[in-house]
């Protein structure tokens, strides 16, 4: 058995492990397969024991200098880290199966600049939520989508997969399955519940999906679920209609949801749970966007005796 056949067999086993035991999505499997095959191909398909820290450093340099690892501003750190995260996970898998290889914790990720979070200010948000006009089923659907995204902070992929049966309008809450098949509870505001109820009462089709295309050329029974891309286009359309110049996506609504909670006094751990983040570090990016709120708190409460 050649080295190439051996390491590729371990890669196949690793991807099956991610799918069957870790419940990772097909998109994640495709990404890991791509990043790891790029590394293995560049390294000429080494055996596990030949994966060393100098080899990984050379690969990082290769990615850093390659066209794929650059943007207009220089090396793209995020791209480098995607490869390293996949490689660390693969090495951890090999170690668990008693292969002698590089310890995964020896691979350090490249330091990234603070992530910029785009969110809507209150006035922009109100204009966006008010943008769908009329009482036809498409306008009601689009209003329900916008209200749902802001009320729950759902990822666009999560919203697109929802079925009507999942939504409990009496309890104003429901369970959603997010990344890594993790389940969490999300909550409906009064406005989101009302928008969803109005939309569902207007529907004439029998499709089980929460949001459908409402294609008049199709039979009501054949209504198809909206795709994540369709929902993205809907959000973008109403953002432009509302006169918002910044780029607005469903993820902008998710950022706005988190920012609104933090500015309203919610604890970071509560926001983490509602967003479905595995790590608090991911949620802490939102603390950077609440600086204005902190300024107001400081102005209101600091040095009150001399005011």
Long-range interactions of 292-299: CB distance < 8 A, separation 24+: 293/262, 293/263
Beta carbons of 261 and 250 less than 8 angstroms apart: no
Residue 148 CB: number of other CB atoms within 10 A?
27
State yes or no: is 277 an active-site residue.
yes
Strand, helix or coil for residue 131: coil
Query: Which strand (E) or helix (H) includes residue 143?
Result: helix 137-152
Question: From CA 128, how far away is CA 130, in angstroms rounded?
Answer: 5
State yes or no: is 302 an active-site residue.
no
State yes or no: is 254 an active-site residue.
yes
CB-based contacts of 306, cutoff 8 Å, min separation 6: none
State yes or no: is 306 an active-site residue.
no
State yes or no: is 292 an active-site residue.
no
Q: Which of 155, 193, 214, 255 is catalytic?
A: 155
Q: Which residues pair with 209 in a beta bridge?
A: 163
Q: Which of 203, 251, 263, 293 is catalytic?
A: 251
Query: Which strand (E) or helix (H) includes residue 33?
Result: helix 26-42
Residue 168 DSSP label:
B
Question: From CA 187, how far away is CA 167, in angstroms rounded?
Answer: 10
Query: Which strand (E) or helix (H) includes residue 240?
Result: helix 228-241
Q: Which of 37, 92, 179, 184 is catalytic?
A: 179
Beta carbons of 265 and 274 less than 8 angstroms apart: no
State yes or no: is 88 an active-site residue.
no
Q: Which of 60, 76, 254, 255 is catalytic?
A: 254
Question: From CA 95, how far away is CA 229, in angstroms rounded?
Answer: 39
Residue 206 CB: number of other CB atoms within 10 A?
10
Catalytic residues: 155, 179, 251, 254, 277, 286
């Amino acid at each position: 058995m050649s080295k190439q056949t051996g390491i590729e067999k371990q890669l196949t086993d690793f991807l099956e492990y991610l799918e069957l035991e870790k419940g990772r999505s097909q998109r994640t499997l495709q990404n890991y397969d791509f990043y790891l095959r790029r590394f293995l191909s560049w390294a000429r398909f080494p055996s596990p024991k030949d994966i060393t820290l100098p080899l990984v450093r050379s690969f990082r340099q290769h990615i850093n200098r390659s066209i794929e690892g650059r943007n207009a501003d220089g090396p793209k750190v995020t791209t480098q880290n995607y490869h390293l995260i996949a490689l660390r996970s693969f090495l951890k898998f090999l170690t668990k199966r008693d292969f002698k290889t590089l310890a995964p914790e020896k691979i350090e990720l490249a330091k990234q600049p603070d992530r910029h979070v785009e969110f809507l200010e209150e006035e922009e948000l109100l204009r966006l939520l008010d943008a769908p006009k009329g009482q036809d089923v498409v306008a009601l659907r689009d209003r329900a989508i916008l209200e749902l995204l802001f009320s729950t902070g759902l990822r666009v992929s999560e919203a697109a997969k929802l079925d009507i049966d999942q939504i409990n309008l009496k309890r104003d809450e429901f369970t959603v399955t997010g990344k890594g098949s993790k389940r969490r509870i999300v909550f409906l505001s009064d406005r989101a519940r009302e928008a969803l109820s109005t939309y569902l009462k207007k529907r004439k089709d029998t499709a089980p999906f929460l949001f459908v295309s409402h294609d008049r050329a199709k039979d009501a029974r054949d209504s198809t679920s909206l795709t994540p891309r369709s929902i993205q286009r809907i959000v973008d359309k109403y953002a432009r209609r509302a006169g918002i110049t910044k780029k607005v996506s469903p993820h902008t609504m998710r950022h706005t949801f988190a920012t609104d909670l933090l500015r309203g006094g919610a604890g970071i751990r509560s926001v983490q749970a509602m967003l479905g983040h595995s790590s608090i570090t991911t949620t802490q990016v939102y603390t950077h966007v609440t600086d204005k709120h902190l300024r107001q708190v400081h102005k209101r409460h600091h040095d009150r005796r001399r005011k």
